[in-house]
């Protein structure tokens, strides 16, 4: 194989030799042939931090399907209004504590705090600040170690990540055990959270899941749901500050919804379906700054692609950048244009912020709600401007403003649309 080609090339990522498939055709080929020619694969650094992922009997695709089925339960009519109640309460608490009466705030850490509080409540029914804080710091250490070189020496990101993973697993196992005790004593939460669903799950042999398997699934869900959504929120705030015309249109749409509601009424599903322009804005943010840069696959058979032979066992990678900023698929790709997502939107396999195929992000629909609810409360309450207009963006592995996106707030409630 030539090292470089327009459609396929070989490189090194995280110390692993990989083949990168590019463009619409590459994405379609990988996503359409998942489990036929290739399967999801994780680097060694991740395997050791998630015990269940190191079990050859457990398919990552099957795990994603099971998790998608569980998370879809949060969006059925009888349950989703509870999600809105939690989201609104968490947003209002976070804004009151961390945004109100502040002239300057740094968005990324506050967005991380919001998403952490939200998933602790939705997934574990934990709303105690001390309990949430106990999980926050080790989660940060774990994330830092996930995509580092797997060198287990004292003080390295990988070593600290392993310790954080062990701490979190032990903590989550204790939470699972306590929930079982509470259920026996009729002290458990009456509402269903992620833990409740997992306690009802059975394995392929019909047995209830082991406590460590439940803990590992919850930990994996936390990693996926926490930073990705916070990243999208952060860059949405950034673009709304830089593009006043876009901010005005989002504000107008959100205020129409707010003005149609009786004071004290919570957001509901129908409200979010009216946030079409706002969601197009978020989609354009994710096109320009996708929360994930791509994921790995492993070839399970020899196959040919675009005249190149890929042997069984080779690692593969798809990348959002090969289509998201490619003028073949998006005209003037560096220009911010939410109208790209009107009507049918981008061509299939060109816009892939949540991946694709059977391994599509299980929590994408829930993430949409938590982003829109946050957006609604922020744009109907504040205006803002960035402190560092040309702030550098770092990647490890999620994109991050180098200084966390400091902004200056204008504290004024918008009173309606003139």
Cβ contacts of 376 within 8 Å, gap of 6 or more:
254, 257, 258, 267, 271, 275, 278
| Residue 258: other Cβ atoms inside 10 A | 22
Query: What is the C-alpha separation between 38 and 34, in angstroms, rounded?
Result: 5
CA angle 88, 368, 278 (to 5 degrees): 90
- Please tell me whether 85 is known to bind a ligand: no
Q: Are 268 and 81 in contact (CB under 8 A)?
A: yes
Alpha carbons 284 and 345: distance in angstroms, whole number: 11
Give yes or no for a contact between 3 and 110, defined as CB atoms under 8 angstroms apart.
no
Known binding-site positions:
361
Known binding-site positions for heme:
361
């Amino acid at each position: 194989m030539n090292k470089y080609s327009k459609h396929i090339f070989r490189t090194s990522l995280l110390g692993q030799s990989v083949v990168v498939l590019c463009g619409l055709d590459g994405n379609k080929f990988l996503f359409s042939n998942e489990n036929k020619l290739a399967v999801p694969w994780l680097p060694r650094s991740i395997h050791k931090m998630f015990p269940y992922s190191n079990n050859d009997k457990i398919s990552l695709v099957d795990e994603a399907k099971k998790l998608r089925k569980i998370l879809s339960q949060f969006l059925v009519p009888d349950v989703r209004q509870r999600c809105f109640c939690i989201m609104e309460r968490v947003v209002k608490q976070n804004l009151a504590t961390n945004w109100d009466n502040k002239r300057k705030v740094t968005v990324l850490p506050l967005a991380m705090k919001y998403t952490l509080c939200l998933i602790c409540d939705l997934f574990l029914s934990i709303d105690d600040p001390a309990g949430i804080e106990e999980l926050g710091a080790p989660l940060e250490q774990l994330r830092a170690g996930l995509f580092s070189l797997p060198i287990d020496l004292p003080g390295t990101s990988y070593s600290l990540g392993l310790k954080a993973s062990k701490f979190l697993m032990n903590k989550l196992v204790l939470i699972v055990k306590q929930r079982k005790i509470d259920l026996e004593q009729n002290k458990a939460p009456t509402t269903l959270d992620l833990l409740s669903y997992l306690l009802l799950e059975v394995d392929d042999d019909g047995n209830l899941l082991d406590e460590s398997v439940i803990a590992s699934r919850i930990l994996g869900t936390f990693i996926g749901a926490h930073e990705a959504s916070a990243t999208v929120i952060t860059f949405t705030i950034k673009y709304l500050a830089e593009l006043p015309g876009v901010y005005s249109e989002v504000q107008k749409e959100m205020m129409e919804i707010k003005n149609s509601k009786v004071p004290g009424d919570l957001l509901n599903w129908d409200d979010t379906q009216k946030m079409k322009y706002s969601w197009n804005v978020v989609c354009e943010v994710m096109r320009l700054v996708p929360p994930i840069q791509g994921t790995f696959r492993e070839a399970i058979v020899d196959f040919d692609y675009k005249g190149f032979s890929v042997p069984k066992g080779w690692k593969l990678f798809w990348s959002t950048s090969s289509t998201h900023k490619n003028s073949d698929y998006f005209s003037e790709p560096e220009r911010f244009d939410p109208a790209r997502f009107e009507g049918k939107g981008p061509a299939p396999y060109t816009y892939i912020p949540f991946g694709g195929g059977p391994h599509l992000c299980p929590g994408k629909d829930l993430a949409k709600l938590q982003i829109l609810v946050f957006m609604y409360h922020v744009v109907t309450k504040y205006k803002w401007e960035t402190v560092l207009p040309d702030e550098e963006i770092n990647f490890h592995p999620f994109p991050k403003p180098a200084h966390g996106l400091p902004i200056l707030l204008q504290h004024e409630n918008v009173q309606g649309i003139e």
